[in-house]
A and B are shown apart, each in its own frame.
Chain A
Amino acid sequence: MRMLINVPETVVADALRGMAAAHPELIVDVENRVIVRRDAPVDGKVALVSGGGSGHEPLHGCFVGPGMLSAACPGEVFTSPVPDQMVRAAAAVDSGAGVLFVVKNYTGDVLNFDMAVELAEDEGIQVAKVLVDDDVAVSDSLYTAGRRGTGATLFVEKIAGAAAEEGRPLEQVESLARKVNDNSRSFGVALDACTTPAKGSPTFDLPAGELELGVGIHGEPGRERRAMMTSREIADFSVDAVLEDMNPRNPVLVLVNGMGATPLLELYGFNAEVQRRLAERGVPVARVLVGNYVTSLDMAGASVTLCQVDEELLRLYDAPVRTPGLRWGG
């Protein structure tokens, strides 16, 4: 696999230098690996900090800006950032109104953010934490690390970010974030594995003519492997898997998300099938977002996320946002 890199060791730092050059509205601290809104801390407003392994771009770094994240901490590729980064980010963005950590439910992210909560509190910063765990492919049992955080992260960061922008207090921003996560479910498929810079070859071997169902966003294989299916069949399988775990009465936000290597042409075609299936299942749709938002390096494939919204959540979702990766209104 040929990659557009110098050496694997500098992939994250190189990308951060490039982000700094492209986005003067952000402060990109390449050495300490923290991306911060230039106007932070914003007086009287709650700040949102997220982070995770790199390789999921635009998540999280490109979601920093007015209406979404206050700061993001990129780790090494597919590796949680370290507590030092999170504490530095929290200190940079806290206006005194408190900081909400948005954490995807992976063992590493949870452990590092938990340590950061303690350290930040020692520094006098009021911190709350919300876990994102929307992936229905992992059974939420005692025998696994629990459901993974995937596509719903975008909805959590967007809606909680809008609430913070409105000046809502920390406990409200936190409870809205939790509500968005509780109302969201996702399912993903891979048509091809991804290649991490450190390894330089695909993370799993997927023979031609087969696909992985129920994959996460770290190049880990999925729940089962089947003979290749059509877009229509994959849409049926994915939507049905999500609806097995939720029964939306209110309209839903739909994220049809590319894993990195699947062209928009295919994603839009897939979205047509997803919308057909949702209509067949009687699910009302409020908004649809199609694109590569929560990616897995160069993995081919897609995920479907549904988030059930009431009027308030929909209004916050529609509120203006201005970040490198997501931008509308205002």
Chain B
Amino acid sequence: MLDADFFRRWMTAAAAAVDREAERLTALDSPIGDADHGSNLQRGFAAVVAALEKEAPATPGAVLQLAGRQLISTVGGASGPLYGTLLRRTGKTLGTDAAEVGEERLREALRAGVAAVATLGGAAPGDKTMLDALVPAVDALGESFAAAADAAERGAEATTPLRARKGRASYLGERSVGHRDPGATSAALLVAALAEAADV
């Protein structure tokens, strides 16, 4: 079973990963975006970690809802509402009562979170967005956390030949081809952080 501590570890690992990879995310965002994805997520996840320390939410659902609200309130851009919605909807689906949740329940909640992201952004897999990492990750979560992390990484890698249809990269049309999507890359980091939290 997964408790609030597990979800706090997930968010802390995500913040560390974003810190570690900030320059890479910004570099990926440079040819097909506006060169700020790394710094924006750094600011957001730093706020998440600070809020979790201060408010110490007691249940998995409460941790994710607080994290999502922090991202919406601090990141801005498209990634703030999208990642914020992912965590908030996942947290809402888990509810705030259960002190522990099973892996199957988490998988269903994440599926709902990813669906909310797709609705909000109006995107589908293949559009060269974070969904290209998140959708295969949720599918693979039935197997293991590590498998989900692998699937997310492969999904992010597979965005390179795609033509962007959503977000700022879509303005480039064919010229977005040949660049790995920064949003899919950060989404893969988030899933890798989940696997890291499980690997304790």
Contacts and interface: CB of A to CB of B under 8 A. Distances in A.
Interface of A: 8, 53, 75-84, 106-108, 111-112, 115, 137-138, 142-145, 148, 196, 198-199, 203-204, 216, 218-221, 223
Given A81-B76, A107-B78, A219-B35, A199 B171 contact: no
A216 B172 CA distance: 10
A200 to B, nearest CB: 9
Contact of B30 (A81, A203, A216): A203
A221 B34 contact: no
Interface of B: 26-27, 30-36, 38-40, 43, 72-82, 120-121, 163, 165-168, 170-173, 175
Nearest to A33: B76
Contact of A107 (B35, B121, B173, B175): B121
A203 B78 contact: no
B168 A107 contact: yes
8 contacts: A53-B76, A82-B75, A84-B73, A106-B78, A196-B35, A198-B39, A204-B30, A221-B31
Contacts of A78: 34-36
Contacts of A84: 73
A196 B36 contact: yes
B35 A198 contact: yes
A53 B172 CA distance: 20
Given A79-B36, A80-B76, A204-B31, A107 B166 contact: yes
B15 to A, nearest CB: 16
A137 B35 CA distance: 21
B25 to A, nearest CB: 11
B36 A198 contact: yes
A79 B74 contact: no
B80 A108 contact: yes
B97 to A, nearest CB: 24
B35 A83 contact: no
Nearest to A135: B171
Given A76-B40, A218-B34, A220-B32, A198 B26 contact: yes
Given A75-B76, A112-B81, 19 more contacts: A8-B39, A53-B77, A76-B40, A78-B34, A82-B75, A112-B77, A137-B171, A138-B171, A144-B165, A144-B170, A144-B171, A144-B173, A145-B166, A196-B35, A199-B26, A199-B35, A203-B30, A203-B35, A216-B168
Given A115-B81, A198-B35, A220 B168 contact: yes
B32 to A, nearest CB: 7
Given A79-B77, A82-B74, A82-B75, A145 B35 contact: no
